Structure 1
Amino acid sequence: MKPRQSSFWRVFGLPMGIGVLCAAGLFSALLGDGLWDAVSWLGLGVPCVLGVRGLLPRR
């Protein structure tokens, strides 16, 4: 018999990655200006784009 593979990373991998990206964006927004602003826009913009993409109807 084959050992059953854990589906933990399959289920929670992408949501955890989005959460880490969002937390990094929030943290970098607190740190300063310049490059930190760009990192915060990226870290908070990607989860927003993914959320809106999930709301759009599929073709």
Structure 2
Amino acid sequence: MRQSTFLLPGLLAVLGAAGLVVALLGDGAWDALAWLGLGLPALIGCWALLPRRG
């Protein structure tokens, strides 16, 4: 099975865009979804910068 180069960046972009829309349009409990939608791509991006063992 062939892996797509743009699959993970595309998913992160969709997640970030959804987080932005939810942050702009929602309030209350929607704020938690906005935090996830905007924080998860940032966390994954920072995780890739951590040094590796070995």
Q: TM-score range by the shorter chain?
A: 0.7 to 0.9
- Greater mean alpha carbon deviation, residues 9-18 or residues 21-30: 9-18
Q: TM-score, normalised by structure 1?
A: 0.80
Inter-partner Cα distance in structure 1 for 2:48 and 2:19: 21
Residue number in structure 1 paired with 2:49: 55
Identity of aligned residues (%): 57
What is the root-mean-square deviation of aligned Cα atoms in Å? 1.5
The yes-or-no answer on 1:46 pairing with 2:40 is yes
The yes-or-no answer on 1:27 pairing with 2:21 is yes
Normalized per residue, the structure richer in helix is: 1
Gaps of 5+ in 2: none
Gaps of 5+ in 1: none
SS in 2 for 1:56: coil
Q: TM-score, normalised by structure 2?
A: 0.86
- Residue type of the alignment partner of 2:19: G
- The count of corresponding residues between Structure 1 and Structure 2 is 53
Residue number in structure 2 paired with 1:18: 12
